Each structure stands twice: as C-alpha cells, then as structure tokens.
C-alpha cells in the first residue's frame, strides 16, 4: 500500500466536549501532576500552578496528553501535537455543534464519529 505518492503521515483531528463535574478534583490532579514533575523549572511551575488554579480549562489541558492517544498503537510514532482547551457554552441540540460541519464530504467512510453519553 505504500507508494511514492502515499504519505506516511496522517493527521487525526479530534474535538472533544467534556463536562467538568468536580472542579476541585480536576485542579487537584493538575497541581499534583505539576508537583510530581521533577524536570519542571521553578518559574514555569509557579506560572503553571497559577494557571491551573485559576482556570479549569487550563487544568484539563495540562492533564490531557495527545501521546496517550497513540502511544500504545503499534507502528505509530507521534511527530507533532498541539491542543488547547477553553470554557464554552454547550447545547448539544444546537446546529452549531454539528461535528461534521467542517467536513468536505459528510458521507466519507473514513470519518468515524463516536458519541459518548
């Protein structure tokens, strides 16, 4: 299947909406993760502690690691990742939240949607 015309690189786009039902637990886990990171410089740790304490979206972004999504997949090496989080107003019935709105072809069999809940 590998030909000179076929790229070995694949972009996976994932968009998640999560509900935070225990802000204290989330913030505590992020702070513990920072405390456990021996390689984190003090100044950066202080800035990160402030960020995760003030903003649950920052706490979540600190705990989410894209490598965890593909780290155990055989034959795959993560080359680049970026992610962010933000607090949003969410209405699952709104057309604004159509997961396929950016798709060129809504009937593309390679677009697999998994809904949780």
Helices (H), the chain: 23-36, 42-54, 56-63, 66-70
Q: Which of 59-63, 80-84, 103-107 has the lowest mean pLDDT?
A: 103-107
The per-residue pLDDT for 102 is: 55
Task: Give the length of the chain.
Answer: 117
Contact 77, 88 (CB under 8 A): no
How far is 113 from 117, CA to CA, in rounded Å? 13
The per-residue pLDDT for 103 is: 53
pLDDT-derived band at 100, boundaries 50, 70, 90? low
The per-residue pLDDT for 4 is: 63
The per-residue pLDDT for 79 is: 93
pLDDT-derived band at 109, boundaries 50, 70, 90? very low
pLDDT-derived band at 94, boundaries 50, 70, 90? confident
Q: Is the pTM of this model over 0.85?
A: no
The per-residue pLDDT for 15 is: 84
Q: Is 74 helix (H, G, I), strand (E, B) or coil?
A: coil
Q: How far is CA 48 from CA 18, 43, 88, in A?
A: 21, 9, 21
């Amino acid at each position: 299947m590998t030909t000179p015309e076929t790229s070995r690189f694949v972009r996976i786009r994932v968009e998640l909406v999560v509900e935070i039902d225990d802000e204290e637990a989330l913030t505590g886990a992020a702070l513990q993760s920072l405390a456990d990171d021996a390689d984190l410089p003090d100044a950066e740790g202080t800035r990160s502690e402030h960020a995760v304490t003030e903003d649950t979206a920052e706490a979540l972004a600190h705990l989410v690691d894209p490598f965890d999504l593909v780290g155990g997949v055989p034959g795959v090496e993560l080359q680049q990742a970026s992610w962010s989080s933000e607090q949003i107003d969410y209405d699952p019935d709104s057309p604004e939240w159509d997961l396929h709105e950016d798709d060129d072809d809504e009937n593309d069999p390679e677009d697999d949607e998994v809904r949780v809940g």
